[in-house]
Amino acid sequence: MSISNETIEKIRRSNCATDDTFFQAVEEVLESIKPVLDSDPIYERHSIVDRLTTPDREFKFKVVWMDDNQNIQVNTGYRVQFNNALGPYKGGLRFHPSVNSGILKFLGFEQIFKNSLTGLPIGGGKGGSDFDPKGKSDFEIMKFCSSFMTELHKYIGPRIDVPAGDIGVGAREIGYLFGEYKKITSSYEGILTGKPYMFGGSLMRPEATGYGCVYFTDEMLKFAGKDGFKDRICTVSGAGNVALHTIEKLYALGAKPVTCTDSRGTIYDSRGVNLELLKELKLVRRASLEEYCTVHSEAIYTKVEDYPQGGHEVWNIPCDCAFPSATQNELTKVDAQNLVDNGCISVSEGANMPSTPTAIQIIQDNGVLFAPAKAANAGGVAVSEFEMSQNASMTKWTYEKVDKMLEQTMRAICKRVHLTAEEYGVAGNYVDGANIAGFKKVADAMIAEGI
Ligand code: NDP
C-alpha cells in the first residue's frame, strides 16, 4: 500500500482546516513509513494508518478562574488521548495563548512515536490550555491550575493517562495541579510527572530533555565517525527548560554554547553564554534576555523584529552543532541554508518539530546530520516514565542512577534509529529511521490487541 493523496485528503476532511501542524506531522510520518506499508499488507488489512491518525478521544472544557482584580476569566482546556497501544497515555500539558486542538493533535501524534522509541510502556497524549502564564501572579497561576484540574481529573489516572509539563508548565504549575487533584480525589497517586522532588518527583526530570538531546547527538556524531563535543561551537535556541539544560550538558562535555533566544530576541556571546546568569534571568526572575547585556556588555542582543523576515538571527551564527529548542517551525529554509553555508555538521531538535519540512530537506540534502525531535528529545518522557516507576514502587532513585539510565536510553534510541534506517535502505536518514522504528512497534501492538 502506498500513501495516496486520497489518504491525506481523508485525514484533512476528518479534521479542521486549521490543523496544519497536525497535517505536517502526519504527512512526514506517512512519507517515511511507505516502505513498511508496501512490504507488508497486514498494516492495510488492519487499517492501521486510519486508526493511528485518529485520536482515541479528545476532551475540550471550560476553565473559569478569578484574577487578582476579582475579574472572572475564561479559558479553554484540552486533553487529547491519542493512542494507548503500548501503555497509559503520556504527554505534557502546554499553557500558551497559541494552544488549540490542532497543535495538541500534532504534539499528541508525535508523542506516540517518541514514546514507542524509548522502549518503555507508555502511549501518546497531549493537553493544555490557551491560558498565558506570562505576567500572572503566583496566586493567579494557582487559581487557574486548580480550576483546570477540576475538569482534567476526570480523565487521568496512574494507569490511564499521566500528563507532564511542557511550554508554560514547570514544577510550580505541576505542584498546584497535583495539590488540586489530591484535594478533589483524596488520593495520593502518581497522576502527573515533573513533580517537585519533595512529593514524588524524580531527580533529573528537569534536566532530562536537554541532557538527553546532547547524549543522543554525541552518539549520532560517533556513528558518523566524527569526534564528540570537545571545543565545538554550538548554537541553541530557547531559554527555557530544554535550552538551559542543553547548554549545561554541552559545557559538561567540553563544547562552547554561544547563543540562546526567547520570544523577543537572541543573545550571542562568542565567549560562551553565562549559564548561571541565564538561569537567574529566566528561571528565577522570568525576565527578558535583553538584560543579559547589562552584565555582559560584549554580548550581542538582536530583537526579533530587527532580523529580516523568513529567518532567525540564531541560525545565522556560525556553529558546528545546532540545537533548536524553543518551539515548532522556528527553523526555516532560510535558516537551514545559513547553517549549511556556515559549515554546521549537525542539527538536533530539542523542541517539538522546530524545523519546517523544507528546512529538513535542505539540511539532509547537504549531508548535515539531522536528529528529529521524536528521537532526540525523548529524554524528558523517558525520565517521566522513571518517575512513574518510582511512584508505583514508592522508591526514590539516586541522581547517578537516573542519569545513567537516561544516557543508556538515549544512546539505545540513537542506535535503534540508525540501524532501522540502514535496514530500510536509507542509511543516515534519522527522520525515516525514527518514524519507521516508532511506527512498527505501535502498529504491531495494535494488531496484536485486535480492534
Ligand atoms: P519553556 O516554556 O521552558 O521554554 C520555551 C522557551 O522558548 C522560552 O524561553 C521562550 O521564550 C522561548 N520561545 C518561545 N517561542 C519562541 C520563539 N518563537 N522564538 C524564540 N524563542 C521562543 O519550554 P520548554 O523548554 O519546556 O519546551 C521547549 C520545546 O521543547 C517545546 O517545543 C516543547 O514541546 C519541547 N519539549 C519539552 C520537553 C520538556 O521536558 N520540557 C520534553 C520534550 C519536548 P519566553 O521566555 O519569551 O517565553
3-class SS letters over the chain: CCCCHHHHHHHHHCCCCCCHHHHHHHHHHHHHHHHHHHHCCHHHHCCHHHHHCCCCEEEEEEEEEECCCCCEEEEEEEEEEEECCCCCEEEEEEECCCCCHHHHHHHHHHHHHHHHHCCCCCEEEEEEECCCCCCCCHHHHHHHHHHHHHHHCCCCECCCEEEECECCECHHHHHHHHHHHHHHHCCCCCCCCCCCHHHCCCCCHHHHHHHHHHHHHHHHHHHCCCCCCCCCEEEECCCCHHHHHHHHHHHHCCCEECEEECCCEEEECCCCCCHHHHHHHHHHCCCCHHHHHHHCCCCEEEEHHHCCCCCCHHHHCCCCEEECCCCCCCECHHHHHHHHHCCCCEEECCCCCCECHHHHHHHHHCCCEEECHHHHCCHHHHHHHHHHHHHHHCCCCCHHHHHHHHHHHHHHHHHHHHHHHHHCCCCCCHHHHHHHHHHHHHHHHHHHHCC
Same domain, 224 and 368: yes
Q: Which three cell numbers stand for residue 355?
A: 524545523
Instruction: Choose one of 195, 209, 260 to mutate for the ligand 1 pocket test, by most ligand atoms within 8 angstroms of C-beta.
Output: 209
Instruction: Give Dmax (Cα) for the chain.
Output: 64
Same domain, 308 and 173: no
User: Over the stretch 243-287, which tens digit does the pLDDT of each residue have?
Assistant: 999 999 999 999 999 999 999 999 999 999 999 999 999 989 989
Whether residue 314 has its Cβ less than 6 Å from ligand 1: no
Same domain, 224 and 369: yes
Query: Residue 1's pLDDT is what?
Result: 46
User: Over the stretch 318-370, which tens digit does the pLDDT of each residue have?
Assistant: 999 999 999 999 999 999 999 999 999 999 999 999 999 999 999 999 999 99
Residue 446 within any structural domain of the chain: no
Cα end-to-end span (Å), the chain: 20
Whether residue 241 has its Cβ less than 6 Å from ligand 1: yes
Same domain, 78 and 43: no
Among residues 317, 350, 376, the one where a domain terminates is 376
* Residue 12 confidence class, pLDDT cut points 50, 70, 90: confident
Residue 268 within any structural domain of the chain: yes
Same domain, 48 and 70: no
Among residues 11, 29, 54, the one where a domain terminates is 54
Residue 360 within any structural domain of the chain: yes
The residue with greater pLDDT, 7 or 126, is 126
Active site residue 249: no
Which one, of 226, 221, 262, lies nearest residue 243 by Cα?
262
Query: Residue 15's pLDDT is what?
Result: 79
Q: What's the rounded Cα separation, in Å, for the pair 239 and 314?
A: 12
Whether residue 330 has its Cβ less than 6 Å from ligand 1: yes
Q: Which domain holds residue 110?
A: 55-189
Residue 415 within any structural domain of the chain: no
User: Over the stretch 276-332, which tens digit does the pLDDT of each residue have?
Assistant: 999 999 989 989 999 999 999 999 999 999 987 778 999 999 999 999 999 999 999
Which residue among the candidates 90, 105, 126, 374 is catalytic per the annotation? Answer: 126
Among residues 344, 376, 408, the one where a domain terminates is 376
Whether residue 242 has its Cβ less than 6 Å from ligand 1: yes
The count of domains in the chain is 3
Whether residue 376 has its Cβ less than 6 Å from ligand 1: no
Same domain, 50 and 64: no
Same domain, 38 and 71: no
Ligand 1 mean position, distance from CA 261 (Å): 10
Nearest ligand 1 atom to the CA of 242 is 25
Ligand 1 mean position, distance from CA 98 (Å): 13
Ligand 1 mean position, distance from CA 128 (Å): 14
Ligand 1 mean position, distance from CA 438 (Å): 24
Same domain, 221 and 234: yes
Q: Which three cell numbers stand for residue 364?
A: 539532509
Residue 388 within any structural domain of the chain: no
Q: Which three cell numbers stand for residue 315?
A: 541560525
Same domain, 232 and 356: yes
Residue 410 within any structural domain of the chain: no
Query: Residue 3's pLDDT is what?
Result: 60
Instruction: Choose one of 262, 330, 348 to mutate for the ligand 1 pocket test, by most ligand atoms within 8 angstroms of C-beta.
Output: 262
Same domain, 125 and 233: no
* Residue 4 confidence class, pLDDT cut points 50, 70, 90: low
Ligand 1 mean position, distance from CA 306 (Å): 21
Ligand 1 mean position, distance from CA 213 (Å): 14
Q: What's the rounded Cα separation, in Å, for the pair 425 and 35?
A: 10
Same domain, 118 and 104: yes
Residue 3 within any structural domain of the chain: yes
Query: What CATH number has the domain bearing residue 232?
Result: 3.40.50.720
Query: Residue 36's pLDDT is what?
Result: 96
Same domain, 87 and 181: yes
User: Over the stretch 65-98, which tens digit does the pLDDT of each residue have?
Assistant: 999 999 999 999 999 999 999 999 999 999 999 9
pLDDT above 70 as % of the chain: 99
Query: Residue 96's pLDDT is what?
Result: 97
Residue 222 within any structural domain of the chain: yes
Smallest CA separation from ligand 1 atom 11, residue = 262
